[in-house]
Amino acid sequence: MGPAPVVIAGAGPVGLATALLLARWRVPTVVLEAAARRDPSGSKAICFQRDVLDILDRVGVAAPMLSEGVTWTTGRTYFREHELFSVTFSRAEVPPWINISQARVEELLCARVAAEPRVDLRYGSAVIGYREDEDGVEVLTREGPVRGTHLVGADGPRSAVRRLAGIDFPGRSFADLFLICDIKASLPFPSERRFYFDPPWNPGRQVLVHQCPDSVWRIDWQVPPGFDPGTADLDAMIRRITGSLPYEIVWLTVYRFHSRVAAAFGRGRVFVAGDAAHLFAPFGARGLNSGLQDAENLAWKLALVRQGAPAALLDSYELERRAAALVNLAVTAKTMEFLVPQSPEQWEWRRRVLERAVDDPEARRSIDSGKLAEPYWYVDSPLTTRSSVPVPAEPGAARPPVPGVICPDARVRGGRLRQRFGAGFVVLVARKDRVAAAGSAVAGVAPVEVVALTDLGVDTALLGAATDSVHLVRPDGHLAAVLPAFSAAALAAALRRATGHEPDGQRRVL
C-alpha cells in the first residue's frame, strides 16, 4: 500500500497539470473527471503566455506546443479603417505568446498522464461529496469513496468541489453576447493579434482575430442581443474577413463573459483552482494562464507539506493566488468597461476617445482592447523576504528582479535558467566559494540546489546581482529572497520563511 494520493476533481488543463506537477515531487494523484471522456472539440482558450510555457515545460508538453503553435509578437488595434497603435513583445528563446487550442493542450497533457504511473485518471467519476478528518479527505463518488490527503477542485465554473465546500463565488455575469468562430482558410494575414473597434463589417461592435495552427483562424465577434447562429447569415459575416477565399467552419459557440472570484481558495484540506476559483473576461488571456499558475503554486506547497513542512504553508496559496485573481479581475473589468460600456455615458466617452485617437496619440492611451496576461508579483506574501525596492503594479510594467517577482530567464550552460526550477528551491550565489556554506545553511529544510552564477554563465546584470549577492528561487520560479551580501543566517531564515516556518511578523526587509 503506497502513500495516500492527492485527489483532484477535473481533467481539464489545470487539473491535469496539477497532477503532473505533483508527480514530479513523487506525489500520487487520483484525477476524477465527471465527463465520460475527453471532449476534443473546439479551440476554447488559445493564447499561452511565455512564463506559463515554463510551467508546461516542467510537465513535458511545451516542446510539442512550441513546435505546433503559432508564435506572435505583435498586437494591433484598429478603429474603423485606421490602425491606432501596435504593441510588440521582445523575442526570446521562449516566444512571448503562442496560439494553440486548449483541446490540443489537453490531448498532450493526457498523453503525459497515460505515461505517468503516479497519476490515476478516471473518467465518468463525478465528485458528489466529501468527508474531511484530521488525517485526510474521503471523496465520495457513485463508484465508491476515494481516500486522499487533500482535495483539489479544478472542476470548472460550476465546480462541485467549491459548492460542497460552501465557498461563495461572488461577482457578475454580463448579458453582452460574443460569437467565437474557428474557420479553416488560407488567409494572407500575418501572425498577429488584431483587434478591431467598430469595423465597417461589424458596426458599433468589435472583432478579434487570431491565427491558430493548421490554417485555422479564431474570429471573436461581439454580436447583438438575441443573436442566434442557427438563423444568422454566418457566411456573410465570415466573407467580410475572408473575401472570396474558400473557408470551412471548424467550431463555433456563443458565450457571455463573467467576472467572479471565489470568496476563498481553500477550506481545510480542500482547495479550488482555475475556473473553479476565478472567471475573467477573455480579452487579455488571463483565464487559463492564471489557472496554470494556480496549479504550480498549489502543487509545490502540497508536496512540501506532505514531506513535513508546516500545514500553514498551504494558507499562502490563497493569499498569493487570490491576490493575483483580484488583480486579474480588476484589469479585465476595466477592459470590459471600454469594450462593452454599461451606460449611455460610457458609450459616449468611448466613442469620443476612439474618434480622437485617429489623430491624437494621447487619446490612444485611454483605449483598452485587453491588457495581456502576465505573472503576478508576490511582494506582500508571507513567504517573501521583503525588499525596499518598489515594484510597479500597473499592467504590463517592467518589474525588477526583487523578491516576489518571477526570476528572469537567461541562457545558461546546458539550457535556460528557468529549466533548473521546479524540483525544489534553487540558491544562486554570486561567488563560487559560497556554494558549500550556502548548502550547509539550507540543509534539511526542503529540497534545495545551490549553484554559482559563474558556473552557469549567467549575465549577473540580468538578476541585478552584486559581487556577493544571493538569490533564493522558489520551485515556481519566483524569487523568495535577494540578499545583497552572503549571510548563512539570513539565507537559512529566508528559506524557512519561504517554506512556511516563520510568521509574517518576523519577515525581514533588505
State pLDDT tens for residues 77-120: 999 999 999 989 887 788 999 999 999 999 999 999 999 999 99
Report CA torsion sign: 424, 113, 324, 86: positive
Which residues are paired to 391 by β-bridges? none
Q: Sheet containing 470-473: give its strands across.
A: 448-452, 425-429, 470-473, 479-483
Single-letter residue type at 448: V
3-state secondary structure of 85: strand
All three cell numbers of 508, joined, read 525581514
Single-letter residue type at 98: I
All three cell numbers of 379, joined, read 511582494
Report CA torsion sign: 399, 503, 311, 161: negative
State pLDDT tens for residues 430-445: 999 999 999 999 999 9
Report CA torsion sign: 497, 499, 501, 505: positive
| Number of helices followed by number of strands (H, E) in the chain | 14, 28
**Beta strand 270-272 pairing with 151-153:** parallel
CA diameter of the chain: 73
Distance (Å) of CA 403 to CA 116, 128, 389: 34, 41, 9
Digits of tens for pLDDT over the chain (510 positions)? Answer: 679 999 999 999 999 999 999 999 999 999 999 999 999 888 889 999 999 999 999 999 999 999 999 999 899 999 999 999 998 988 778 899 999 999 999 999 999 999 999 999 999 999 999 999 999 999 999 999 999 999 999 999 999 999 999 999 999 998 889 999 999 999 998 889 999 999 988 888 999 999 999 999 999 999 999 999 999 999 999 999 999 999 999 999 999 999 999 999 999 999 999 999 999 998 889 999 999 999 999 999 999 999 999 999 999 999 999 999 999 999 999 999 999 888 999 999 999 999 999 999 999 999 999 999 999 999 999 999 999 898 988 888 889 999 999 999 999 998 999 999 999 999 999 999 999 999 999 999 999 999 999 999 988 888 999 999 999 999 999 999 999 999 999 999 999 999 999 744 444 444
Q: Are 109 and 17 in contact (CB under 8 A)?
A: yes
pLDDT of residue 105: 97
All three cell numbers of 324, joined, read 493575483
DSSP-derived letter for residue 419 is G
3-state secondary structure of 110: helix
Q: Which of 158, 110, 96 is nearest to 13 (CA)?
A: 110
